[in-house]
Amino acid sequence: MGTVAGSQYSAKDFQLEVLDRLAEVQDFAASLEQSWEKKLEAVKEQRLLKFDSRALIAMGALALSISGYVIQDARNSARQDSELAATEARLQRLEQIAATTTEARIRTEVQLGELREGQNEIKALLEPHNRASRRSSSRK
């Protein structure tokens, strides 16, 4: 498709793609018509066969089936592009969540380490006081 990486496939892009495909079908139908006219002229010159309305109906049915195929293909590719864009957005969001979670976990571990160090410092400061109070209580 002609989408730019990172951009969303819009309804306008879909319409432009359908118009491009319809232009291709129109060109194809025009070339069929020219070819048919040449064959018809050859038949008229040789007077081998009359122009049959059934042949015109068959050509119309062929043109309709080709245009139906082109439109269906454009819809399928638009849907696939939309699904790819949605999946890419989900993946980016999950990567953001993973990065945020990792940062929070690291911060929490650092804070826990600082708390442990603070507790150890408090225990070291209280240890002489606890020893003194044990000695004074054992003397009594």
The mean pLDDT of the chain is 83
* Residues 99-131: b if buried by 16+ CB within 10 A, e if exposed: eeeeeeeeeeeeeeeeeeeeeeeeeeeeeeeee
Other beta carbons within 10 Å of 62: 13
Q: What is the pLDDT of residues 25-81, one digit of tens each?
A: 888 888 888 888 888 787 677 655 455 677 778 888 888 888 888 888 888 888 898
Counting Cβ atoms within 10 Å, is residue 11 exposed (0-12), middle (13-18) or buried (19+)? exposed
pLDDT at 32: 85
What are the residue boundaries of the structural domains of the chain, listed by start? 11-139
The pLDDT score that the predictor gives to residue 7 is 64
